[in-house]
Chain A
C-alpha cells in the first residue's frame, strides 16, 4: 500500500508483474480459430475453384471453367461440377466437358502432406461441345533457353507444310506464267556469291604459288651443281685416295641436289592437290546453280507436281498438329510424373527460390499424388455412352510400382462419333520414360472441312464419313507415330474462278469416293523422318500433270536459261582464268622438274662411272697384293 502511494506520488505507473504465458490471448485465439472456420465454410470453396481454374488453364493452354465446387473437410472429399476445357484451336468450343468429378481423399495421406484418392468418378464426359462465349487462349510459353532441337524441327516442318502448293498449281493452270515474272533476277543469287568466292580463292592460290615458285631453287642453282659435277675427276686416277676424294665430292653434290630438288617434288604434288581442289570448287558451282534454280522456282511459286509433295500440302499440318499435341502431353506427363532418373547429379531447379523437392518414399508409402482408380462414365439415352477408367495416376510411379493406364471406349452420338477405343499407358517406372497411345475411331462425320484455300482454288470435303487410327510410342527421345484416316462417301467441294482450273480439279477428283491418308513419323524429336501418303495427292498429281506438265517444264527451262545466262560471262571468265593459271603453274614447275631430272641423270651416270673406276682400281690393287704374296710364298718355299 505504502509503495503504491509512493509510486503515485512520484508519478510512475505501477508495474504489473506478468507471467511468461499470455493468458489473455485465449479469447483472441478462439476468435482467430472461429474466423478460420468461417472462412472454410464460406469462402474456401470459391477460392479453391478459382485456384483450380487458374492451374487447369495453364495446363490446358486455354481457359478452363469450373461451374461448382464443394468440399467437405471432415470427409476430405470434393465434388467438382461442369468442367469446361476450351479447345485452344477453336476457342468457341470445348475440347472436353465433364459433368461431374467426385472423389474422396484419405486423411491418413493428407496428414502426411500427400493426396491419395482411392476411387474417383468422372461422369458425363462430352467432347467438342459449344461454349456460351469464346474461351481465352493463352499465348504459347516462351522457351526457357532458346528453341530446342525439337522446336527447330517442328518449325521446319511447319514451314514445309504451310505452303499452298495446290493453290500455286491452280494459279499456273489459270494462266500465270511464273517464269515471266522473272524479268530481272535480283542480285542475291547464290551462284554470284559462289563465283565471287571462286575468284577470291583463285587470287589467293595464284598469290600463294607466286611466292612458292619464287622460293623454289632456280636454274642458276642447278647450273652451279652441274659445274661442280663437271669438275669432279672421273678417270686417270693415280691411286685409291683420288678415287675416294671423287666419291666424297660426288656424294656432297648429290646431297645438295636432293635438298634442292625435294621442294620441287613437293610443290608438284601440292600443285596437283590445289588444282584438284579448284576443279572440285568449279564442279560445286553446278550444284549451287541448281539450288538457285530451285530457289527461284519456289520464289516464283512453281511447285513440284510430285504426289508426296501434294500429300504433305493436303494433310501435313493435320499430322503436325497431332504430333505437337502428343509432344505437349508427353512434356506434361514427364514434368508431373517424372521417371526415376539414374543421374547422380540432379539438374538445378528452374526457380532457385522454389528449391527442389526430394522424395523419401518407401515401398508402402504414398507419393505426393496418387489416384488409384477413376471411373469415367457418360451414359446417354439408348444405352449409348462412354466408359473407361484411369488407373494409378501417380507423381512417383517408381514408388507405386505401376504405370498409369487409361482406357476409354464408347460413343459420342451427339457429335456423331462412334466406336472410340483408346488406351494410354504412361510408364515412368523405369529410368527411360515410355508413353504409348492407341486410339481408333470407327466412325465420325466430317462436314465442311477445308483442305486447300487460295484465291485461285478451294478444295474441301463437303461431307464424308471418316474413320481414324492413331498409334504413338514415345520412348525417351525416340518417336514412333502412325496415323491413318479413311474418308468414305466423300463429296468434294471445290471452287475456282478459272474454267481451266475448274475442269482440271473436276477431272482430277472424278470417281474418287474414298480418300485415305497414312502417315508415319519416326526418329528422335530433333531429327524426325516423315512419310505421308494419300490417294487424293496421287489423284491430284495425275490430274494436274495432264494440264500443267508442259507449262511447268517450259517455266523450269526458262528459269534455268535465265540463271545460266546471268552467270555465263563470269563463269566463262573464271574457267578461262583457271585454265591459264593451271597451265602457267604447271609449265613453270615442269621447267624446274626438267632441270632436276637432267641433273639427276648426270649424277647417276657419274656415279656409275665412278663406281666402275673404283671397282677396277680395287681389283687392280687386289691383283697386285696377290702377286706380291705369291712371290713371298715362293721365296719361302724355296
Chain B
C-alpha cells in the first residue's frame, strides 16, 4: 500500500513538474494494456516486467490500469465480437494452431474471444493513448498548473512559513 501511495504521490509530483512527460504517457499506455488484459496472464506479467525494468511511471500505469479495466469491462461485448471474428478467420487458423501448441504462448489466453479482442484493441489504442496523453499532460501543465501557480491563493500559500519549511525539507530529502 505504501509503495502504491508513494507511486501516486510521485505521479502527482511528476505531473506538476516540467519533466517526465514520456514516462507518464508510457505509464498510461501500459495501464491501457494491463487494464484490457486478464489479471493473471503472460502478457500482464510482461507489461509488469517492462514497467519495472524501464523508466515507466508505475503510478500512472496502475491508476490508468484501474480506469481502463472498467472501460474494458464495458467493451467486453465488442471485444468478444472482434476476438471471435479474428479467431474464426480461416486464413489465420494455421497460425493460431501453431501458437496454441507452442510452449508459453497459450498462457496468454489468446484463444479466448474476449482476451483476443481486448488485446487487439489495446495494442491498436496504445500508441494513440501514448501520444494523446502526452498532449494532455502538456496542456494540463500550461492551462492548469501555470494558472494555478499564478493565482492569489497559491501566492498566499507559497508565502507561508509551512510551505517554505516543506520546500526546504523536500530539497534536503531529494
Contact = CB atoms under 8 A, between A and B. Distances in A.
Interface string A353-366: 11111111110011
A19 interface: yes
Given A358-B87, A361-B101, A21 B55 contact: yes
Given A25-B53, A112-B102, A358 B171 contact: no
A113 interface: yes
Interface stretch (B29-37, B72-80, B131-139): B72-80
B80 A349 contact: yes
Interface stretch (B106-114, B140-148, B150-158): B106-114
A354 B104 CA distance: 21
Contact of B55 (A20, A29, A355, A365): A20
Contacts of B99: 360
B54 A29 contact: no
Contacts of B53: 21-22, 25
Contact of B52 (A25, A114, A356, A365): A25
A15 B18 CA distance: 11
A362 B97 contact: yes
B103 interface: yes
A183 interface: no
Interface in B10-32: 19
A633 interface: no
A112 B115 CA distance: 17
A362 B94 CA distance: 10
A500 B138 CA distance: 100
Q: Which bracket fits the contact residues of B?
A: 35 or more
B101 A365 contact: yes
A352 interface: yes
Secondary structure call for the A interface: loop
Interface string B82-118: 0110011000010011011111111101011111010
A22 B73 contact: no
A360 B111 contact: yes
A511 interface: no
Contacts of B107: 111, 113
Interface in A104-163: 108, 111-114
B83 A355 contact: yes
A13 interface: yes
A137 to B, nearest CB: 31
B97 A360 contact: yes
Contacts of B19: 15
Contacts of B112: 354-358
Contacts of A358: 87-88, 96, 111-113
A366 B80 CA distance: 25
A357 B111 contact: yes
Nearest to B117: A355
A47 to B, nearest CB: 13
A18 interface: yes
Contacts of A365: 100-101
A28 interface: yes
A5 to B, nearest CB: 15
Contact of A355 (B80, B171, B174): B80
Interface in A301-360: 349, 352-360
A18 B55 contact: yes
B100 A361 contact: yes
Contacts of A361: 97, 100-101
Contacts of B103: 108, 111-112
A362 B101 contact: yes
B86 to A, nearest CB: 10
A354 B77 CA distance: 10
9 contacts: A20-B55, A21-B53, A29-B52, A114-B106, A352-B76, A354-B112, A355-B113, A361-B97, A362-B97
Interface of A: 13, 15, 18-22, 25, 28-29, 108, 111-114, 349, 352-362, 365-366
Chain A to chain B: the 3 pairs with minimum beta-carbon distance, closest first: A355-B114, A113-B106, A360-B100
Interface of B: 19, 52-55, 73, 76-77, 79-80, 83-84, 87-88, 93, 96-97, 99-107, 109, 111-115, 117, 171, 174
